[in-house]
Structure 1
Amino acid sequence: MQDSRKLKLLFAINPVSGGQSKETWEESIKTYCADKPHELNLLILNGEDDEERLTKEIDAYKPDRVVAVGGDGTVKMVAEQLLSKNIPLGILPAGSANGMARDLDLPADPEQALDVIVNGRVQPVDLICVNDKDLCLHLSDIGLNAQLVKYYHENNWRGKLGYARGVLRVLLNKRPMTVEISTTKGVLRREAFMVALANARMYGTGAIINPDGDVSDGYFEVVIIRQFSWFEFLKMFWRYRPFDPKKIEVLQAKALIIETRKRAYFQIDGEYRGRIKRLEARIMPGGLKVMLPQEKKGE
């Protein structure tokens, strides 16, 4: 059903995400809305005081939708400004990986993505609160992948070749961690190469680490990589399931505490956060409203 009412749309545009100019996206936005009644406000981010500028713009403009035009980092920054404002988040996937958009089955085509923002449905999605101060929209982890994120950003690697270099470096230096995971169901002690907190199903690379994940079910999954297995990793890309629980263990939780014997690499939504020995996390059910495609009949 088409939404004929006039909408006030605020677009937060990251001009450098994905290493590509966003002029095409700006033109697509203007072209799409040219014959429609909607009111546009384009805010170009500068990487310096974006949170403050966006908050002021939201308060002054009072939009019906706030749209993140960029990659996962842009989506997270915009989402954080909407938590207490009851305004739906729209996503135009203009980054290099766009993991959140892919996980939500949002179209990559600008016109189709804009149609979702204007005519889609509002869906509350869960968030994970980490250490009482950070928000995870997508995926956080300690261990191998967090180490890869660190190397990737430190060396400013780009593209598939850069990613492959990072993977090779991580694998050559891989070491298991001793972890203790406490949930309401008890305490688990494991030797693991990686532990992920998965609100969603897949990384931006397309690797499905949490096949049965649902961003709106009131839970997050704890994915424990207990043994390094090429076959299990191939399953993430070839959509095989389930994982062998002796190698990759998946648990559901609403809250947990993870403690490691030694400091472990840690990342949230693709941002490296240093090395830690303790992590606390809890679910925030329906903490964010997101514009998603209309459900097809019969689903």
Structure 2
Amino acid sequence: MCRRHHPPCREPRPEPESRYQPPQIVVLRKILIIINRKAGTDREKRLGEAIRRHLPAGEFAVETTYLQYLGHGADLARDAVRRGVDTVVAVGGDGSINEIAQGLLGSRTALAIVPLGSGNGLARALKIPLDAGLALEVVANGEKRPMDAGFANEHLFLSNAGVGFDALIADRFRHSKKRGLINYARLVIGGFYSYRPAAYSIRVDGQEQGRKAFLMTVANGNQFGYEFKLAPQASVFDGLLDVCLVPPLRFWDLLPLSIRSLRGSIQQSRYMEHFTGKEIEVSSDDLNCLQVDGDAVPLTNGKTVYFRIAQGALQVMVPAQ
């Protein structure tokens, strides 16, 4: 019946496949690179080549700019946060890294480091290679971790802050035209004989004690630059500050103190008293200097400095585990 009175039954013809393919939207990771121009022309040229090699245009949207005035790094970093930049790369030493970090605190934008400074304390603490190319590999393939930030009278520090002999040397180093470990050592030796250790009143999480000290340093990380470690067990991820007290020294104690600091064994010696806490108050009639991350800053609270920790306040790029 079907064949006589009706046309042959056929299955529906399939619709032809559309050849239209919607365009794929590629979201490039936004990177802002902030360079301290003290790097030098030849070094800067090699850095540019390394950036193009490790952060290729097909994978990253890279913008490069330069520090131009004091505080410019913080301004650039805040603007990067507003623009949704994924990672801000600080190219320079601990001072410029600190300045840039000020604009990133509490945000989701990560800080990455290409260490081109003298001591490179924070880079060493975070296990970031001192070679620029390898450091850029961390920018490209590392992982983000929330690290702690320290404050000394509301001055940010990422590695350490101090009010003792280190603060005096930081102030003199700031006015010196020369950089590097040799010049730093020259300032240390020259300043040692005229320095008089101060008597401090120290309150750690509410417990008060008095000490006379040559160094009175509060550490967030374990590095002071050049591989010197006053707090070898300190970590920028543990939510604690480490108080490092070095008692009054004789000149010939400087060498064994330095050797133990380089080896990371100073805490097991007579050269160090060590405490940990989250809120620290230090006062002294002889308190005249304050350094944060190796840079001298003004005292803003008379003869007292308040130290505190802000746990996980800064996202940082570190080598992938």
Q: Secondary structure at the match of 2:113?
A: strand
Cα distance in 1 for residues equivalent to 2:182 and 2:116:
20
Contact kept, 8 Å, 2:150 with 2:156, in 1: the verdict is yes
**Residue 130 (structure 1) aligned with residue 152 (structure 2):** yes
Q: Which has the larger radius of gyration?
A: 2
In 2 relative to 1, CA 281–160 (structure 1 residues): closer, same or farther, beyond 3 Å?
closer
Is 1:31 aligned to 2:53, yes or no? Answer: yes
The answer to whether the aligner puts 1:262 opposite 2:283 as a matched pair is no
**Partner residue, 1:56:** 79
Deviations 1:136-170 (A, max 9, x none): 11111111111111122223232333222201112
Counterpart-to-counterpart distance in 2, 1:19 and 1:191: 47
Q: 1:194 to 1:282 in 2, by over 3 A?
A: same
Structure 2 residue 318 is the aligned partner of structure 1 residue 292: yes
Q: How does 1:205-244 map to 2 (within 5 A)?
A: 205-228=226-249, 229-230=253-254, 231-244=256-269
Do the aligned partners of residues 182 and 18 (structure 1) sit closer, same or farther apart at CA in structure 2, a change above 3 Å counting? farther
CA distance in 2, matches of 1:180, 1:135: 22
Gaps of 5+ in 1: none
- The equivalent position to 1:277 in structure 2, one of 303, 312, 319, is 303
Task: Report SS of the residue matched to 1:169.
Answer: helix
Residue identity over aligned pairs, in percent, reads 27
Contact 1:19/1:96 (<8 A) preserved: no
Map residues 92-103 of structure 1 onto 2, 5 A cutoff: 92-103=114-125
1:170-189 to 2 correspondences below 5 Å: 170-189=191-210
State the match for 1:161 in structure 2.
182
> Given the alignment, which residue of 89, 94, 101 partners 1:79?
101
Q: CA RMSD in A?
A: 2.2
Report if aligned partners of 1:138, 1:199 keep a CA contact under 8 Å in 2: yes
CA gap of 1:48–1:151, structure 2 versus 1, over 3 A, is: closer
Aligned residues of 2:204 and 2:281 also touching (Cα < 8 A): yes
Whether contact under 8 Å (1:222, 1:252) holds in the other structure is yes
User: Do the aligned partners of 1:17 and 1:71 also contact (CA within 8 Å) in 2?
Assistant: no
Task: Tell me if structure 2 keeps the 8 A contact 1:22–1:94.
Answer: no
Letter in 2 for 1:199: N
Larger strand share, 1 or 2:
1
Match of 2:163 among 142, 152, 158: 142
Q: 1:19 to 1:223 in 2, by over 3 A?
A: farther
String of CA shifts for 1:168-227, please: whole Å, max 9, x gaps: 112111211010001235111011111001001121122111011011111010001113
What CA distance in whole angstroms lies between the structure 2 residues aligned with 1:213 and 1:45? 31
Structure 1 residues 68 and 194, CA, compared in 2 at 3 Å: closer, same or farther? same
Please tell me the residue identity of whatever aligns with 2:60: H
- Alpha-carbon distance, 1:59 to partner: 2.4
Which residue type is aligned with residue 214 of structure 2? F
Residues 222-271 of structure 1: CA distance to partner in whole angstroms, max 9, x if unpaired?
00111323323320013335333x53101001001111022332111111
Between the aligned partners of 1:191 and 1:19, the Cα distance in structure 2 is 47
Matched, 1:6 2:32: no
Query: Is the 2:149–2:311 Cα contact (8 Å) retained in structure 1?
Result: yes
CA distance in 2, matches of 1:18, 1:251: 41
Q: Distance in 2 between matches of 1:69 and 1:259?
A: 35
Give the SS at the match of 2:106. coil
- Show the counterpart of 2:12: none
CA contact (8 A) 1:89 1:291 kept: yes
Q: Which residue does 1:195 correspond to in 2?
A: 216
**Aligned equivalents of 1:124, 1:201: Cα separation in 2:** 17
Structure 2, unmatched stretches of 5+, are 1-25
- Match of 1:82, SS state, is coil
C-alpha distance in structure 1 between counterparts of 2:236 and 2:41, whole Å: 28
TM-score (norm 1): 0.89
1:139/1:198 contact within 8 Å kept: yes
Q: Distance in 2 between matches of 1:46 and 1:285?
A: 31
Which residue identity lines up with residue 98 of structure 1 in the other structure? N
SS in 2 for 1:281: strand
Deviation at 1:23, TM superposition (A): 2.4
Does the 8 A contact of 1:180 with 1:189 survive in 2? yes
Q: 1:142–1:27: structure 2 CA closer, same or farther, 3 Å change rule?
A: same
Q: How many residues align?
A: 289
